[in-house]
Amino acid sequence: MENKVVVITGAGSGLGASLAKQFANSGNHICLLGRRKEKLERTANQLNSRYSIYEVDVSSKEDVGRVFRKIEEELSAIDVLVNNAGVGAFDLAEHIEEESIHQMIDINLKGTIFCTQEVLAGMKQRNKGTIVNIVSTAGQEGKVTESVYCASKFGVRGFTESLVRELNDTPIRVLAAYMGGMESEFWDGIFTPEQTKGLMKTDDVAEIIIDSIKPRKYLAVTDITIKNKKQF
């Protein structure tokens, strides 16, 4: 994948930042999307190719529409969309606060849907494009203290599987990436560095995802599962 316009949500840290760096290494133009400009700038400083920064709240359809229109006006068509933005709040089901419930459903699920809606018409018109949804293994099985997080990710899974079927007769590629816990800022304030030591590295996961969406004759990778050797 070279000379593409690649849009990555949640690009300020973790897997989003790793994906940005590796897509940049192939000479693509990287659109870094997130809520905090300073974090996006930190990622941008590590890139060796062209980039643009856009502050956006993916849970707002209006804000998503504004930003995606701006990208298309400034850079033309979007070739690759990576729906990576996500949040998690972990506790027993009865203790999860209402605001946390709204955030997980709005960002993890609705954000993925809103961003995808913005690129579908253009990709269908051009008859090409790639959509990558970062789901997590929380979209494959229920987990203790992750009931609402899993609910949001199961929603993303259902949306993605349906999208694959809707686009089955087109060259547009859709990939669902299911991965376990990674060593990243996602766990800050939830687990200690000692608890997350030995988890997968985001650079390794990013490499596998990008390799999975490379064009190949006679095959399409629609989902991948990447797990830790260490139980977490």
| CATH code of 137's domain | 3.40.50.720
Task: Give the DSSP H/E element, type plus range, for residue 223.
Answer: strand 223-226
Q: Is residue 232 part of a domain?
A: no
Q: What is the mean pLDDT of residues 126-135?
A: 97
Answer left, alpha or beta for residue 226, where phi above 0 means left and psi between -120 and 50 means alpha. Answer: beta
Q: Is residue 43 part of a domain?
A: yes
Q: Is residue 193 part of a domain?
A: yes
Q: Is residue 231 part of a domain?
A: no
Q: How confident is the model at residue 128 (pLDDT cuts 50, 70, 90)?
A: very high
Q: Is the pLDDT of residue 78 over 90?
A: yes
Q: Is residue 45 part of a domain?
A: yes
pLDDT tens readout for residues 50-64: 999 999 999 999 999
Q: How confident is the model at residue 35 (pLDDT cuts 50, 70, 90)?
A: very high
Q: How confident is the model at residue 191 (pLDDT cuts 50, 70, 90)?
A: low
- Residue 211 lies in domain: 5-226
Asked if 25 and 48 count as a contact pair (C-beta separation under 8 A), the reply is yes
Residue bearing tokens 């260490």: 230
Q: Is the pLDDT of residue 232 over 60?
A: no
Asked if 230 and 198 count as a contact pair (C-beta separation under 8 A), the reply is yes
The stretches of 61-177 forming alpha helices (DSSP H) are: 61-75, 98-103, 111-126, 147-166
- Alpha-carbon gap, residue 125 to 135, rounded angstroms: 27
Q: How confident is the model at residue 200 (pLDDT cuts 50, 70, 90)?
A: confident
Residue 98, C-beta contacts closer than 8 angstroms, at least 6 positions apart: none
pTM (2 d.p.): 0.94
Q: Is residue 114 part of a domain?
A: yes
Q: Is residue 133 part of a domain?
A: yes
* Domain count within the chain: 1
Q: Is residue 146 part of a domain?
A: yes
Catalytic residue numbers, as ranges:
149
